[in-house]
Structure 1
Amino acid sequence: MDNKLSGSDLTRAMLARGDDKVWCAVNNDSDEHAITNIDNADYSFLKYIVSFNNSHFLCEDGTPWQYAVPVEKVEVTQQEVGF
């Protein structure tokens, strides 16, 4: 049995432990579609999720989403780009 959390399940767990905002790829179809949006460089589907209520994730502006996959946002370093 696999007890590892991922996708929207991980976001729910992070909010339940008290995280105030979780940076997520969001979608209303599935976790996979949320990540596909990001893979296709559609960053309009990156939102800070602030709560989970009535089977929906809510972003900062109050928009409800069915799926929210936590992602990282990191700065690129000089070494990573080869300078």
Structure 2
Amino acid sequence: MLSPVEKSRLKWACRRGMLELDVIFMPFYENEFDALSDADQQTFISLLESDDPDLFRWTMGHAVPADPAFVALIKMILERNQARHDRQL
């Protein structure tokens, strides 16, 4: 379990240099992170250590990360964000 300070840092790490990434990672963090398994939380933290251009290519489907855990987590992020968006309509 992360301390409040660690969670604050993680929330800040979700703020990227690209608006397209902000709208993907911030809602996922705010709505889903606490319910993730410890392993998925650690994968999310590791994913956020990636460079913005890589994150952009991966989330837009222009490239596939080498790490299978990243592939699965990105799929989860996109699916859950889409489901949340669909429920709001």
TM-score greater than 0.5 by the shorter chain: no
TM-score computed with the length of structure 2 as normaliser: 0.27
Larger Rg: 1
> Whose helix proportion is higher, 1 or 2?
2
TM-score computed with the length of structure 1 as normaliser: 0.28
